[in-house]
Amino acid sequence: MSEKDFIVVGQGLAGSIVALTLEKYKKSFVVLDQPNEKSSSNIAAGILNPISFKRCIHSWKASVLNPYSLSFYKETNQKLNAQNFIPLDVIRIFSSYEEQNNWISKTSDSRFNLFLGDEQFNFTNKNLNLPYGYGNVKSCGRLAVKDFIKSCSKYMKAKGALVKSDTMVSAIPKIKGMYQLGGYKAKNIIYCEGLELKNNPLFNYLPIIPNKGELLKVNCNTLPQKLISKGIFILPEKNKNTFLIGSTYSHEDLTNLPTKVAKEDLLSKFNAIGDFNHEILNQVVGFRPTTKDRRPMIGEHPILKKSYVLNGLGSKGVMTAPWLANNLIRHILFKEPIDKEADVVRHEKMIKQENLDFASFLCNS
């Protein structure tokens, strides 16, 4: 039986980043994965944006997470010999003079001018509706998440560190102090399962909420090659004249099917941004793992030691995952504290007796 330092369960965005971070610290690992085409990692737009536009404030810990992620993806592009992450200019179209004035006032505020700018780009077309003007967001980018996961998969397969299976077991038994499954054993295990966490009897007490998102892919030869935001985002794809329009958010509709309501909502907001002849290429659906308090969840199981979780990344996973993975792994290796707002201990009161009983059952030593 092959012994590793870590078993990582799940090779979506979070699991891939955890694996690359473990390699950075020269730790051996194997990633066990069960493919899921409807996971958010497979359809995510992959936008790295440090600003919450609704209130024109920094996203959670943006001043820390954003520069860390930019550095991580730059290094990862080189490691994987791929251009999965690219920087992008981001345009925020203002909806009112009030939003315009609020934005401009913050561009001169040292707390915000790291990301907010009032630079006016020279558009090559006049199709955009800009009655109140626009601002720009600095230090942004786009990770082609599906391509990133494929690159990581290829990289890890070449190292013999990836096992894919259609019958993956969520909760892995601990025998004589080691987690064991499929010919591998390790002292530590990190679950990066996204919404599949609800089927994990160790951690299914954690309040993960499925959030359905729908995207449109369109062909348009008059849109600028910028990431545009106003109620929705318009994101240029690698293929010329191809753009993603998104995204919707729904906690109620948990079907895997695209909806007419979402399509009409996205098109209505798209048409309000400007007059663009376009062709709809397809409509896709995915589910984000979100939390009630909008904070991710990382940390150790209350009684099954050396069993960890990283989940609840929501729509900001591209920006948050690299730093969170590093925070968790440094906690495991060097006993550094986990960020208080992200620590799973905040949900310990929700754990059920069945979770504790199952954890005790898994720990046979």
Terminal-residue alpha carbon distance, the chain: 18
Domain membership flag for residue 106:
yes
Half-sphere exposure of 27 (CA within 13 A, CB side): 23
Tokens of 31: 């990633």
Pair (234, 313) in one structural domain: no
> Degrees (nearest 5) of the Cα angle 241, 243, 248?
165
Last residue of a domain, one of 290, 322, 352: 290
Pair (133, 214) in one structural domain: yes
Last residue of a domain, one of 241, 267, 290: 290
Q: Which pLDDT tens digits describe the chain residue by residue (365 residues)?
A: 799 999 999 999 999 999 999 999 999 999 999 876 656 677 888 999 998 887 778 899 999 999 999 999 999 999 999 999 999 878 999 999 999 998 888 888 888 877 887 666 555 557 889 899 899 998 899 999 999 999 999 999 999 999 987 766 778 888 888 999 878 999 999 999 999 999 999 999 999 999 999 999 999 998 988 899 999 999 999 888 999 999 899 988 989 899 999 999 999 999 999 989 999 999 999 999 999 999 999 999 998 999 999 999 998 999 999 999 999 999 999 999 999 999 999 999 999 999 988 888 877 55
- Report the CATH number that the domain containing residue 332 is assigned in CATH: 3.50.50.60
Pair (219, 355) in one structural domain: no
Please give the pLDDT value at position 342.
98
List b or e across 191-212, with b for residues whose CB sees 16 or more CB atoms inside 10 angstroms. Answer: bbbbbbbeebbbbbbbebebbb
Q: How far apart are CA 37 and CA 197, in angstroms?
A: 16
Pair (228, 281) in one structural domain: yes
Half-sphere exposure of 76 (CA within 13 A, CB side): 27
> Bridge-partner residues for 190, per DSSP?
8, 308
Domain membership flag for residue 53:
no
Q: How far apart are CA 73 and CA 50, in angstroms?
A: 15
Pair (156, 279) in one structural domain: no
Do 220 and 244 contact (CB within 8 A), yes or no?
A: no
Residue whose entry in the numeric block shows the structure tokens 């954890």: 359
Question: Which contiguous run of DSSP H or E holds residue 300?
Answer: strand 297-300
Question: At 125, which amino acid appears?
Answer: N
Pair (216, 263) in one structural domain: yes
Question: Taking the complete model, does pTM exceed 0.75, yes or no?
Answer: yes
Pair (265, 125) in one structural domain: yes
Q: How far apart are CA 171 and CA 250, in angstroms?
A: 29
Do 69 and 323 contact (CB within 8 A), yes or no?
A: yes
Tally of structural domains, the chain:
2
Domain membership flag for residue 58:
no
Please give the pLDDT value at position 156.
96
Question: At 18, which amino acid appears?
Answer: V
Please give the pLDDT value at position 323.
98
What Rg, from alpha-carbon coordinates, does the chain have? 21
Domain membership flag for residue 51:
no
Please give the pLDDT value at position 29.
97
> Degrees (nearest 5) of the Cα angle 326, 327, 333?
85
Please give the pLDDT value at position 47.
93
Do 46 and 54 contact (CB within 8 A), yes or no?
A: no
Please give the pLDDT value at position 120.
62
Domain membership flag for residue 64:
no
Tokens of 148: 């990133």
HEC secondary structure over 47-83: EECCEECCCCEECCCHHHHHHHHHHHHHHHHHHHCCC
Pair (128, 181) in one structural domain: no
Q: How far apart are CA 142 and CA 86, in angstroms?
A: 6
Pair (202, 228) in one structural domain: no
Domain membership flag for residue 200:
yes
Q: How far apart are CA 87 and CA 70, in angstroms?
A: 9
Last residue of a domain, one of 290, 313, 331: 290
Give the residue numbers spanning the domain of 34.
2-43+146-207+293-362
Pair (235, 351) in one structural domain: no
| Residue 125 CB neighbours (<10 A) | 12
- Report the CATH number that the domain containing residue 113 is assigned in CATH: 3.30.9.10
Pair (197, 268) in one structural domain: no
Domain membership flag for residue 52:
no
Pair (217, 273) in one structural domain: yes
Domain membership flag for residue 257:
yes
Residues 6+ apart with CB under 8 A from 48: 66, 69, 70, 73, 85, 140, 141, 142, 143, 318, 319
